[in-house]
Structure formats: structure tokens, C-alpha cells
Amino acid sequence: MFEAGKLLAKSVLLAGVLGGAGWAQPPDLVYYNAHIITQWDQKPAAQAVSIRGNRFLAAGSNEEILGTAAPSTRRVDLHGQTVLPGLNDSHTHPIGSALSEQDGPIPVMHSIAEVQAYIRKLAATTAPDRVIFVPKIYSTRLRDRRYPTRYEIDEAAPGRPAMTDNGYASVLNSAALQKLNITRDTPQPANGKIIRDAKGEPTGLILGAPQLLGPLRASRSATHADRLWALRTMQKAYNQVGITSTIDRGQGPEGFRVYQELRRSNELTVRSYVTYMISAQGTPDQVRREIEQIPFTTGFGDEWFRIGSLKCVADGGILIGTAYLREPYGANTRIYGYDDPDYRGVLSVPRENLIEMAKTANRLGWQMTAHTTGGGAIDALLDAYEAADREKPIQGRRFTVTHGNFPNRQAVERAVRLGVAFDSQPAWHHLDGPALKDVFGPSRTSHFIPLRSLFDAGIVVAGGSDHMIRFDSRQAINPYNPFFGMWMAITRKTADGAVLHPEQAVSRMEALRMWTLNGAYLSFEEKIKGSIEPGKLADLVVISKDFLTCPVDEIKDIEAVLTVVDGRVVFERK
């Protein structure tokens, strides 16, 4: 991988020299009369940029760039609009997100009553032999500040198996519990909780324990053709908000085949660095063999589709009360549906397996990451990275903490020593901060997504959405509109209008870097994308407002006007 990276860097450098010194060949295309924020240290701002083929030739003043044009060069006057490098979302799930609305739009639900109304609608339209399934319901985002009960779902779908599910916490109605044979006598799973009422009866809420829920989740299987439709369609939606690159954070063999097929047919419109998921269960030897059997490693591919990190899911989630913490959750857990002051959450991959995964990934040439939402999970992952580092230094390997919501000072210092990067999602702070600040309290909330501390320490932090559900870029779970995400990072405003720990805010340019160069860094591609400079891939977005000077609260409303990938227009707002 690293030899290929050196060759790539040399080719880009040569292209930059040729493009920036004399322009031996005229450009095919010039965008001029613009405010261009290049993210290029040598020339942070420009009025015009030239493109030949799929690469930037030069950026500079109108006179400089138009002076290189030939009669055949196409000239586009942008009339003073702002131009940014193509945007990179470091954490998406595009196939699953599109499949969620394959049968039609999913409404935004803010209360249990709205969840019930949607279940009633599904009951009228879903085949009798299918489970009624409502995805991604989080109690932190409901006005009721709790999950529905089995009986409330029974009321909406009497006699029909129905469930709400967010991947980590599910509520099953009575028919669904019966279908899975879950009763008051079912033993508690080691990797989750069956929540019971005062009489010992299941309330319907099950935390973690994916093995119990597998049969119901598997009832919603997708075909290869479904996945092809999903990726094509969602990439076009990403283009509409200025996204030109993304890191898909979780695929197995079926998903990889979809990317391969669309790459062969030249149908990809978003450059994709695709994460390979493993379970990391069983013994450490089984984990090692699971990794050794994968027939590729990080970096294989090209600038459109490249093999990314190796990933496992190390703990649960902060929105459902199963994230693995450094200390117990405490008394304020009623929002999660349980009272257990000693509960710390679930470390779903044993420490020894995380260590073996990190060592094997390091030995074979994989970049590694893991879903780690709680502080205890971050510490366990850094323990694994340190164990791998003792065998062979991981500096430069860009091992990553995915989510990493609660890095304390010690975790930040360890990450700096190891050269570890962070894949961060500000939407959790914005959308869930109003509920979570009471769960975790002031001390822990002070280092909840602490972007300022991470930047000041020199850690590379990339901005992502963890987009999982819906096409709508601002109403999705989670919102994938990059400007909405940047606004969250800049203002630290939460959904109730409060500002939570403003000292952890970042500047506009730092936020832009999170969605450009820092995202490219996570995929070892900062030499070929992430800024507008000679020799780099010609990815850019023209936007509706001046990102640097518009009122700060207007940043969240910025729209992509024109999105260019590889030198060609993939979206134009009419």
C-alpha cells in the first residue's frame, strides 16, 4: 500500500509542476470570477481555476488563469459565487440509507404518538407475512424521552409482529416477542439486556443482544439489484449537497461487490473509501484467521473505489445507554428504559480480541478502526493500538477512532503519541446534547466531542455524519448535509437552541478542513484531493453563500449550486 502511495504522490507532484509552471497544454475548462477557498497553503484564495482532463491545472487571478485559455477552452463565469474543494463525509452508510426508503419516505418522528401513527400506516400496507419494521428510533430524540412499550406498539398493530429498531436497541410488540419466544423466563444475554417491568414481564425493549433479534432483522433482506439501486441513488443525493468523496464505514462481501460492479461500469459519482467489517468474535486465534482470510488490504483500488479500514463494533451507543463507559452511567438512565446505577454498558468485543485484531491488522498492512462511543471503549481501543505499536510502530498507519465521543485528556495524549486520527460526528452533540447532558453530567459532558481539544493537540479530526436513514440531507438520521455539520462544529448549538461547551468550538476554516483535507487524510489521499491546487483531482463545489463571511447561522442553510467530480458536472441546481 505504502509503495503505491509513494508512486501516486510522485505522479501528483509531476502533474502539479507541469500544471503550475508554464501550462504546457491549455486547459479544457476555466471557472472564473469566483471567490475560491482553495485549502491550498501556497494560495489560500483565488478568483479562477483551470482544469485539464480530471486534474486542476492552476488557481489564481482571473487574468492569470484566463490568460492560459485557448480558443477551445470552455469558460464559465461564476459571477462572484464561492467555490470550495469537493466535500468529503468521513462516515456514511449509503446503501442502507437508501434501502430504508426504498418503499417510500419515512416520516420524521418526534414522539411515541407519531411512531404509533407510522406503524398504523405500515400495518395497512405491509404484507401480512412481513414484520412491521420502523428503523432508527432513539429515545433521546423523542419528546417523551423514552421508548414506546410493547403495549403501545400492540395498540398500533394488534396481532401483527412489529418492532422499532436502531441497531442497538429494539422494542418488540407482544406478537414479535412471541415469534422469538422471548418470555419472562428468557435468561439475560451476556451482551445486552432484556428490560422487564416490576412484575418481571418483558417491556419489549431489548438492548444489544443482536443474536436474539437476528431472525426479525433478517426478514428485511435486500437483493443485489436493490443494493445497486441504493448506491447509485444515494450517491446522486450526496452530489446534491456538494459531497464528492466519502468513507463508507461498514460493508461486507455483498456491499463490496456492488461497489466493484458500479466501478467497472463507470457509474460511481462519489469517490468511495470502503470499510471492511468483521465481527471480531470468538477467540483471538479466530479473529486472526478471520482477518487473514480476507483477500486484500487497505489501499487496494483506485481514486474512485478503494479498500479502506478494517473495522469492528467495540461497544454499544450513547443514544441507547449501552456505550461502554469508564465508570457507571449512574442514576439518570430512565431515558434508556432501565434503572441500574452500576451499569457501564457493553464492551461487545473482548479486549484480547481487540488487541489481536490490531496486531494482525498492523502486521498485514491494514488500517484499523473500531466503533467506540463510550470513554471506556476508546481506552480499550487505544490499549489495543499500543499493543500493536509495541510489536511494530503504527505511526503513519493512521489507525482511527470512529465516533470517539468521550476522549478525556489522557486519551487525547495517547492518541497523539500513536498518531491516531478521529472520525467524528458533531450531529450527536447537536441533536442529542439536550438529553445526554443530564445523563452524563457536567464533568463528562465537558469532553463530549471535544473538537477544540483534539485540534489543539494536533490530532487529525475528520467530519462525518454517520448517515443511516432517509434521503433528506437535513432530516436524515443522521443529517449528511456538510454545511449543517460544519455549522454544528462551529457554533456548538444544540437542537433546543442552547450552546453546550462553546470552548470546544472550531473555526470556519477548521470545520471546512474536517470535511475536505482531513477526510482525505483518513484515506491516505490528501496528496490527490481535499484542496484546489495544481495536479489534484478536479473536484469542487460552487455554493449559495460566502462560507467565510455570511452570518454564522446561515452556514447551515448553504446549498450546493454546482458539484464537479473528476472535472465533470455531476449536479447543477436549476
Write out the three cell numbers for 32. 472564473
On whether residue 323 sits in a domain, the answer given is: no
Among 18-22, 68-72, 385-389, the range scoring the smallest mean pLDDT is 18-22
Q: Are both 61 and 207 inside the same structural domain?
A: no
Write out the three cell numbers for 263. 466501478
The pLDDT value given to residue 214: 82
Per-residue model confidence as pLDDT tens digits over 76-131: 999 999 999 999 999 999 999 999 999 889 999 999 999 999 999 999 998 888 89
Q: Are both 29 and 130 inside the same structural domain?
A: no
Q: Are both 422 and 396 inside the same structural domain?
A: yes
The pLDDT value given to residue 17: 35
Q: Are both 567 and 518 inside the same structural domain?
A: no
Out of 198, 220, 242, pick the residue that ends a domain: 220
Q: Are both 434 and 296 inside the same structural domain?
A: yes
Q: Are both 76 and 110 inside the same structural domain?
A: no
How many domains does the structure of the chain reveal? 3
Per-residue model confidence as pLDDT tens digits over 240-249: 999 999 999 9
Among 149-153, 165-169, 226-230, 371-375, the range scoring the smallest mean pLDDT is 165-169
Mean pLDDT score, 356-385 = 98
Mean pLDDT score, 295-301 = 97
How sure is the predictor about 216, in pLDDT bands with cuts at 50, 70 and 90?
confident
Out of 220, 238, 254, pick the residue that ends a domain: 220
* Spatial distance between the Cα atoms of 348 and 480, rounded to a whole number of angstroms: 27
The pLDDT value given to residue 22: 44
The pLDDT value given to residue 213: 86
CATH number at residue 57: 2.30.40.10
On whether residue 78 sits in a domain, the answer given is: yes
Q: Are both 171 and 78 inside the same structural domain?
A: no
Long-range contacts at 426-429 (CB < 8 A, ≥ 24 apart) = 426/451, 426/463, 426/485, 426/488, 426/489, 427/465, 427/466, 427/478, 427/479, 427/484, 427/485, 427/488, 428/318, 428/319, 428/403, 428/466, 428/478, 429/488, 429/492, 429/494, 429/500
Q: Are both 392 and 437 inside the same structural domain?
A: yes
Q: Are both 373 and 498 inside the same structural domain?
A: yes
Mean pLDDT score, 535-551 = 98
* Spatial distance between the Cα atoms of 207 and 341, rounded to a whole number of angstroms: 16
The label of the residue with cell 444544540 reads 494
The pLDDT value given to residue 219: 62
8 vs 42, more confident: 42
Q: Are both 442 and 373 inside the same structural domain?
A: yes
The pLDDT value given to residue 438: 93
Q: Are both 507 and 363 inside the same structural domain?
A: yes
On whether residue 342 sits in a domain, the answer given is: no
- The mean pLDDT value of the chain amounts to 94
On whether residue 424 sits in a domain, the answer given is: yes
CATH number at residue 449: 3.20.20.140
Mean pLDDT score, 548-573 = 98
On whether residue 69 sits in a domain, the answer given is: yes
The pLDDT value given to residue 11: 43
The pLDDT value given to residue 220: 64
CATH number at residue 108: 3.10.310.70
The pLDDT value given to residue 7: 41
Structural domain span for residue 359 = 286-301+308-314+349-528
Q: What percent of the chain has pLDDT over 70?
A: 95
Bridge-based pairing state of the strands 202-208 and 271-277: unpaired
Mean pLDDT score, 284-304 = 97
On whether residue 274 sits in a domain, the answer given is: no
Q: Are both 401 and 501 inside the same structural domain?
A: yes
On whether residue 454 sits in a domain, the answer given is: yes
* Spatial distance between the Cα atoms of 360 and 340, rounded to a whole number of angstroms: 37
On whether residue 51 sits in a domain, the answer given is: yes
